[in-house]
Structure 1
Amino acid sequence: MQPDPFAHALISAGEFPECDRAAVYRVIETRRDVRDQFLPDPLPDDLVMRLLGAAHSAPSVGFMQPWNFILVRDPEIRQAAWSAFSRANDEAAEMFPEERRDIYRSLKLEGIRKAPLSICVTCDPDRAGPVVIGRTHDPRMDVYSTVCAVQNLWLAARAEGVGVGWVSIFHEEDLRALLGIPERIRIVAWLCVGYVDQLYREPELAVKGWRERLPLEDLVFTDRWGEC
């Protein structure tokens, strides 16, 4: 048998110590989408870079690493983004049945103005060229990879005592014009990022009666769709 020429690059795949495993699961289970509870304190640059480093360590199909991160601290830009969101949010409210609109409008979505930092996460579909390992038959894999980066950042932020809120209620062309994003670049997420001193024990939408968490056992099939 020929020796593995890359053996020097391997590390142990053993499980982590119990305390480390518990910390990982605690971060996952207590992560929340923060809408209004941000504190105004600025985030230190080294902390922001740790969060971005966690995002940049995300898995990506074909190792294409399609993400970019636009750090938005300018209050005027954040106010313009909030205005674009507000217009879209008014449109969104009218899409729900009348009996749900009051609950929808009661949700405080002030993260864009309250959080000291926003991060616009984008996806460059051309980063690894026209043919990418793993994307040959599903062109969406670049966006899925970028979403993994968002999740990494979110979990790292939870461990750092930093809240994150994902704002998706925009017309894309408004953000594209505001931030000078080229047409070929996909806009994946606008994240509001800042310190928080409290989080909801359960997801806010569950606490406020919008929707309950589904039972896991109802979502797991064996071997074929619909078979338990």
Structure 2
Amino acid sequence: MSDTSNPTSPAGPFSQAERDAVYRAIETRRDVRSQFLPDPIDPDTLNRLLRAAHHAPSVGLMQPWNFLLVRDPAIKSQVAAAFTRANTEAAALFPENRRALYSSLKLAGIEQAPLNLLITCDRTRGGKVGLGRTHAPDMDLYSTVCAVQNLWLAARAEGIGVGWVSILRDTDLRTIFALPDHIVPVAYLCLGYVVELYDEPELQAKGWAKRLPLEELVFVDRWGATGDVNA
């Protein structure tokens, strides 16, 4: 007799069309920096994106994330200024033969995107002892990154571009948004509708880096041991 107190659903595969859609979202997802349209994201779509993020896997079901929506141009301007300072510092860290290319890349759409989104991790959520965190305390941070990915893939399906602005100091974000000490800024994202996307990652298209061959990254049973993945 089935246990009706714990309802379940079939665990079989999706239809072929559904599987194709999932893999298409994964493979055509892009980090968008300069193609944003000014049109605001409609509320229903935004709620779908936030629900997708909130349905991310989280260790111990801790759900450590919060979603801070940023629409105020004055606040965006502060973040953009913080980015400019950090980006100037970053450019000087690269070898001289890479600096010109680095400086030519547009790495943020903070003021162009109609919506910015700061996704944070509450490191106190779930208490001092959390299921799954007793020996891996950073699982709350990893879980929050899963929420970022969920939102990004849902945005791709909705025709919305997302750009992750990582060239920012935590201290600047903490000051601008008055974050409490136990809140960690994980991802500062730019969101907006886009007309077109690069056929390949933009940094690959512009010669900064290339996607590594998968076969060079897969080991079997122990580090560095190659073998038949399909065995």
Q: TM-score, normalised by structure 1?
A: 0.97
Q: Deviations over 1:161-189 (max 9, x none)?
A: 00000001111111111111111111100
Q: Which secondary structure state, in structure 1, belongs to the residue aligned with residue 192 of structure 2?
A: strand
- Note the 1:1-228 alignment, pairs <5 A: 5=3, 8-228=6-226
Structure 2 vs 1, CA of residues 45 and 11 (structure 1 numbering), >3 Å: closer, same or farther? same
Preserved contact between residue 108 and residue 163 of structure 2 (Cα < 8 Å): no
Q: Which secondary structure state, in structure 2, belongs to the residue aligned with residue 85 of structure 1?
A: helix
Q: Give distance in 1, aligned partners of 2:192 and 2:60.
A: 32
Preserved contact between residue 117 and residue 188 of structure 2 (Cα < 8 Å): yes
Q: Give distance in 2, aligned partners of 1:110 and 1:215.
A: 27
Note the C-alpha offset of 1:5.
3.8
Which deviates further from its counterpart, 3-12 or 152-161?
A: 3-12
Note the C-alpha offset of 1:84.
0.4
Q: Which secondary structure state, in structure 1, belongs to the residue aligned with residue 34 of structure 2?
A: coil
Q: Give distance in 2, aligned partners of 1:211 and 1:129.
A: 41
Structure 2 vs 1, CA of residues 215 and 188 (structure 1 numbering), >3 Å: closer, same or farther? same
Preserved contact between residue 113 and residue 191 of structure 2 (Cα < 8 Å): yes
Letter in 2 for 1:59: P
Q: Give distance in 2, aligned partners of 1:110 and 1:129.
A: 36
Note the C-alpha offset of 1:23.
0.4
Note the C-alpha offset of 1:7.
6.0
Q: Which secondary structure state, in structure 1, belongs to the residue aligned with residue 57 of structure 2?
A: coil
Note the C-alpha offset of 1:109.
2.7
Please list every run of 5 or more consecutive structure 2 residues that lacks an aligned counterpart in the other structure.
227-231
Identity percentage over the alignment? Answer: 62
Q: Give distance in 1, aligned partners of 2:220 and 2:106.
A: 40
Q: Give distance in 1, aligned partners of 2:53 and 2:26.
A: 15
Please list every run of 5 or more consecutive structure 1 residues that lacks an aligned counterpart in the other structure.
none
Q: Deviations over 1:112-142 (max 9, x none)?
A: 0100000000000111111111111011100
Q: Give distance in 2, aligned partners of 1:7 and 1:16.
A: 26
Q: Which secondary structure state, in structure 1, belongs to the residue aligned with residue 224 of structure 2?
A: coil
Q: Give distance in 2, aligned partners of 1:224 and 1:88.
A: 39
Q: Give distance in 1, aligned partners of 2:101 and 2:2.
A: 60
Q: How many residues align?
A: 226
Q: Give distance in 2, aligned partners of 1:206 and 1:6.
A: 51
Q: Give distance in 2, aligned partners of 1:192 and 1:105.
A: 20
Q: Which secondary structure state, in structure 1, belongs to the residue aligned with residue 111 of structure 2?
A: helix
Q: Give distance in 2, aligned partners of 1:7 and 1:206.
A: 51
Q: Give distance in 2, aligned partners of 1:135 and 1:8.
A: 25
